[in-house]
Amino acid sequence: MADVTQLIHDYLRHNKKFPHVFCAGCGHGIVLGSLIRSVHALGLPKDDVVLVAGIGCSGRMAVYVDFNTVHTTHGRALTFATGIKMANPKLKVICVMGDGDALSIGGNHLIHAARRNIGVTALILNNHIYGMTGGQCSSATPQGDISMTTPFGSLEKSFDIMDMCKAAGASYVARGTSFHAIQMDRLISSAIMHPGFSVVEVFSPCPTQYGRKNKFRNAVDMYKWLKSNTVKVETLKDPDQKPADGRIPIGVFRDVEEPGLEERYFELQRKLMGQNR
Amino acid sequence: MAVQRKKRKRRELFALGNEAVAEGALLAGCSFYAGYPITPSTEIMEVMANRLPLIEDGVFIQMEDEIASMGATIGASLAGRKAMTATSGPGFALMQEHIGYACMVEAPLVVVNVMRGGPSTGLPTSPAQADVQMARWGTHGDHPIIVLSASNVQECLEMTVTAFNFAEKYRTPVILLLDEVTAHTREKITVPDPDEVEILSRVEPTVPPEWFKPYADTARGVPAMAPIGSGYRTHVTGLTHDVMGYPTQRPDEVKDAMLRLFRKIDQYYGDIQMSDEYMLDDAEVAVVAYGSVARSAHLAVEQARERGAKAGLLTLKTLFPFPRPAVEKLTHRCHTVVVPEMNMGQMSREVKRVNNGRTKVRTINRVDGQIITPSEILKAIL
Ligand SMILES: Cc1ncc(C[n+]2csc(CCOP(=O)(O)OP(=O)(O)O)c2C)c(N)n1
Ligand code: SF4
């Protein structure tokens, strides 16, 4: 425990912007911890890491951590990240977004970042709700669930982020949960070191806005649910088939080595400039 | 050692206004372009697509829309690049949230808007000057902004260089407003040798990272800017922030931050506002025009003089901050100010504000996708 505290002190802007905004029981803090452990374990210099965040509770993560941090606009974090990565491909660019951020307002940018296979890591903190604005439904709210804007139950299907990102061309696609913190460290580390576009979706409980309105009595209930309602994708006979018992597969859904857009672009540029000499 | 006199390498081109913009950008050191095609601005993007991959570290990327283009442009600017995007009305509308963000985080960059007829998809291939007030007030929130224009192809090149210089000097987005006529006119231009042109770049911090205050007030009001990845780990946010870049709601810090944004532009008003005077010394009727309309006005003034009318022309190159002193001068000397423009009065509104009832303000407005002819202006002068 002492080690963890030490690590946190090395990476957080602890003297600046605390207390933080996250509610007790919120999964977002666990993801932040995992991100810090991953960067630390990989031995990346803080100066080389850029954390680009959208707007939402998840977006607030950027202010706390001592990397280069950019808190952007709602839904557009990936567009800023694309500019930063193309401007300086040496940087490790990590984008943190909520489900509203990444899928609703920013859905178009997500599929295009995947299509380009830009060398950016997208962390999608899926709490199935708009946390910061007070619990309205997002495009990841499960059908039938209650939110401030779906008081009679949501009629719309939610996106499956894994399917969508695979289909759009992301070369690393994985899902974890805030309950499975050790697995999450692995997923995030691999994603950061992955050359092309990498997506890690994390089920991150929002007890305040989502849990309360749906079947959960408290935060502990939500974590217990994550434990018993998920299944490691490796253990499935057919990873492309959704388990019949309704459990949600977690783990790595795709991992193919493909150069990122920036690699391909600068390769082309070297060729063109060679010819021009 | 004898000083080697370098031979100036000027180039002559027969170029479109849009091509001249791209030339100007490259001359100014632009090494990043992100955009989305839209008539009548597309040639800017096409030239950049051809040229940037051929220069060291030059980056060109076609994004999925204008929101993304502007996001990427800001990202590149934060990472230390001189960055530009170009668009037309509908795309400019989509960019507004991010233009505000760029103002707030003080990201130097250039946005070119080649105006077309509107509202909405309007008249995609017809000239208009209908985005003047959008360029000034399109974003949410209160902030100053620099808006420039050009009335011929050579000026397209020169004003693009100026736009980059202002962006870097004042750490702000700069908008270059062109109309379709200027953008699609082909004229002979001279691209100067890079050594002949003054090119400014943002000031980077010299203090050690632990001492660096990324939004510190300075005498100029413009803080030093550290590119992402240079060892100065800072927080950039669209939220109102303190001098360290962290969000704040403390009224004194909010006020300081907001007032500095205004002050850094206001106090350099004299440097920023640019206009050309033609035959104004003894003028009794002054035409105030910008963009391609200024060329019609130029001919109209010549014709008026031939007929003995004491007419003159003020061509606005800076639209905002509005060149008040230049216009105010006219309102003391002339009995009439004529403002021709391809909209229903977006700039004459500013002229009337400054005029304060001292002279007649005669407006000529066209919103039918047609240019304003010299004879229309001549009629208003006589
Ligand atoms: C253009 C725009 N539209 C709407 C908002 C308001 N808004 C702020 S956060 C948010 C949703 C946040 O939800 P999510 O992205 O899922 O993140 P969470 O707070 O749940 O972590 C919205 C709609 C905004 N800031 N900007
Ligand atoms: S509202 Fe929800 S997402 Fe936001 S901090 Fe609280 S628990 Fe977390």
Residue B33: CB atoms within 10 Å: 30
Contact A98, A127 (CB under 8 A): yes
Specify the 3-state DSSP secondary structure of B257: helix
Do residues B264 and B278 share a domain? no
SS (H, E, C) A64-129: HECCEEEECCCCCHHHHHHHHHHHCCCCEEEEEEEHHHHHHHCHHHHHHHHHHCCCEEEEEEECCC
Which ligand has the nearest atom to the CA of A20?
Answer: 2
Domain count, chain B: 3
Specify the pLDDT at position A19.
75
Distance CA B358, CA B339 (A): 15
Select the residue of B56, B74, B229 nearest A80 (Cβ to Cβ).
B74
Tens of pLDDT, residues A219-270: 999 999 999 999 999 999 988 888 999 999 999 999 999 999 999 999 999 9
Cα–Cα distance for residue pair A214/A210, rounded to 1 Å? 6
Instruction: Examine residue B53 and state whether it is found in any structural domain, yes or no.
Output: yes
Closest ligand to A75 CA?
1
Confidence tier at A17 by pLDDT (50, 70, 90): low
Task: Kindly report the nearest CA distance between residue A86 and chain B, in angstroms.
Answer: 7
Q: Which of A84, A109, A276 sits opposite B78 (nearest CB)?
A: A84
| Residue B5: pLDDT over 70 | no
Ligand nearest to the backbone CA of A178: 2
- Same structural domain, B40 and B182: yes
Q: Is B64 on the interface with A (CB under 8 A)?
A: yes
Q: Which of A46, A76, A112 sits opposite B233 (nearest CB)?
A: A46
Cβ atoms of B314 and B339 within 8 Å: the answer is no
Whether B164 and B85 map to the same domain: the answer is yes
Same domain, B30 and B145: yes
CA of A23 relative to ligand 2 center, distance in Å: 5
Q: How far apart are CA A56 and CA B94, in angstroms?
A: 21
Interchain CB contact of A277 with B (< 8 Å): no
Helix or strand or coil: residue A2? helix
- Find out whether A255 and A187 touch, Cβ atoms under 8 Å: no
Q: Are A218 and A224 in contact (CB under 8 A)?
A: no
- pLDDT at B200 (0 to 100): 98
pLDDT over threshold 60, residue B63: yes
Q: What are phi and psi of B379, to 5 degrees?
A: -60, -40
Percent of chain B with pLDDT over 70: 98
Beta bridge partners of B177: B113, B149
Q: For B231, left (φ over 0), alpha (ψ -120 to 50), or beta?
A: left
Helix (H, G, I), strand (E, B) or coil at A156: coil
Between the alpha carbon of residue A7 and those of residues A4, A49, A189, B234, the distances in Å are 5, 16, 16, 20
Residues B372 and B306 in one domain: yes
pLDDT in tens, B113-155: 999 999 999 999 999 999 999 999 999 999 999 999 999 999 9
Task: Answer whether A79 sits within 8 Å of B59, measured CB to CB.
Answer: no
pLDDT of A4 reads 65
For residue A142, the tally of other CB atoms under 10 A from its CB is 14
**pLDDT exceeds cutoff 70 at B167:** yes
Is residue B318 in a domain?
yes
Q: Cα dist. B87→A161, A192, B90 in Å?
A: 32, 34, 8
Q: With contacts defined as CB-CB under 8 Å, which chain B residues touch A264?
A: none
Torsion (CA) B163, B168, B171, B176 in degrees, nearest 10: 10
* Residue A20 pLDDT: 83
Residue B1 lies in a domain: no
Mutation target for B interface from A79, A97, A263: give the one with most B CBs within 10 A: A79
The domain boundary residue, chosen from B253, B270, B287: B270
Which pLDDT tens digit goes with each residue over A23-33? 999 999 999 99
Atom of ligand 1 nearest to the CA of A101: 15
What digits encode the pLDDT tens for the residues B266-315?
999 999 999 999 999 999 999 999 999 999 999 999 999 999 999 999 99
In terms of residue numbers, what domain contains B216? 207-270
Residue numbers in A near B29 (CB within 8 A): none
CB contact under 8 A, A83 and B97: no
Other beta carbons less than 10 A from residue B49's beta carbon? 16
Percent of chain A's residues with pLDDT above 90: 89
The reply to whether B251 and B180 lie within a common domain is no
Question: Partners of B345 in the beta sheet?
Answer: none
Task: Looking at the structure, tell me whether residues B71 and B138 fall in a common domain.
Answer: yes
Which CATH number belongs to the domain containing residue B299 in this structure?
Answer: 3.40.50.920
Residues 6+ apart with CB under 8 A from A160: none
Residue B199: exposure state from Cβ atoms within 10 A (0-12, 13-18, ≥19): middle
Instruction: Report H helices in chain B.
Output: 17-28, 42-51, 66-78, 89-105, 132-137, 153-170, 180-183, 251-266, 269-272, 293-306, 324-333, 348-355, 374-381
Q: With beta carbons less than 8 A apart as the criterion, state whether A235 and A228 touch.
A: no
> What CATH number is given to the structural domain containing B79?
3.40.50.970
Per-residue confidence (pLDDT) for residue A6, from 0 to 100: 78
**Considering the domain boundaries, does residue B237 fall inside one?**
yes
CA dihedral sign of residues B58, A52, A200, A132: negative
Mean model confidence pLDDT for chain B? 96
Determine the average pLDDT of the residues in B355-364.
95
pLDDT in tens, B9-32: 899 999 999 999 999 999 999 999
Tell me if A76 and B68 make a contact (CB, 8 A cut-off). Answer: yes
pLDDT value at A277 more than 80: no
Question: Is residue B2 included in any domain, yes or no?
Answer: no
Q: What pLDDT is stored for residue A8 in this prediction?
A: 79
Question: Which of B270, B294, B325 delimits the end of a domain?
Answer: B270
Whether the pLDDT of residue B50 is over 90: the answer is yes
Token pair for B295 = 């060329």
Tens-place pLDDT, residues B212-248: 999 999 999 999 999 999 999 999 999 999 999 999 9
Q: Strand ranges (DSSP E) for A100-240? A: 120-126, 172-177, 198-203, 230-232
Q: Count chain A–chain B contacts defined by CB atoms under 8 A.
A: 137
- For chain B, percent of residues with pLDDT exceeding 90: 97
Chain B residues lying within 8 Å of A91, measured CB to CB:
79, 228-229
- Helix and strand counts by DSSP (H, E) for chain B: 13, 16
Whether residue B346 is found in the same domain as residue B259: no
Which of A71, A90, A272 would best serve as a mutation to test chain B binding (most B beta carbons within 10 A)?
A71
Rounded Cα distance, B152 and B295, in Å: 8
Select from B194, B217, B239 the last residue of a domain.
B194
The answer to whether the complex's ipTM is over 0.95 is: yes
CA angle B256, B260, B265 (to 5 degrees): 165
Q: Is residue B201 part of a domain?
A: no
**From CA B317, how far away is CA B147, in angstroms rounded?**
9
3 state SS of B91? helix
Query: In terms of domains, do B23 and B39 share one?
Result: yes
Show residues of chain B in contact with A79, CB under 8 Å.
63, 67-72, 75
Summarize chain B as % helix, strand, coil (round to 5): 40, 20, 40
Distance of residue B91 Cα from the nearest chain A Cα, in angstroms: 16
Query: What value does the mean pLDDT of chain A take?
Result: 95
Q: Which of A3-7, A93-97, A240-244 has the highest mean pLDDT?
A: A93-97
Q: Is the pLDDT of residue B2 over 60?
A: no
Does B161 score more than 90 pLDDT?
Answer: yes
Which pLDDT value is given to residue A240? Answer: 83
Q: Report whether A161 contacts A126 (CB < 8 A).
A: yes
Query: What pLDDT score was predicted for residue A7?
Result: 83
- The verdict on B347 and B294 lying in the same domain is yes
Residue B231 near chain A (CB below 8 Å):
yes
In a domain? residue B231: yes
Dihedral pair phi/psi, residue A56, rounded to 5°: 150, 180
pLDDT band for position A202 (cuts 50, 70, 90): very high
Residues B123, B173: one domain?
yes
- Which residue has tokens 């004879």? B375
Question: Of the candidates B58, B228, B238, which has its C-beta nearest A71's C-beta?
Answer: B238
B199 lies in a domain? no
Longest dimension (CA), chain A: 69
Q: Are residues B102 and B76 in the same domain?
A: yes
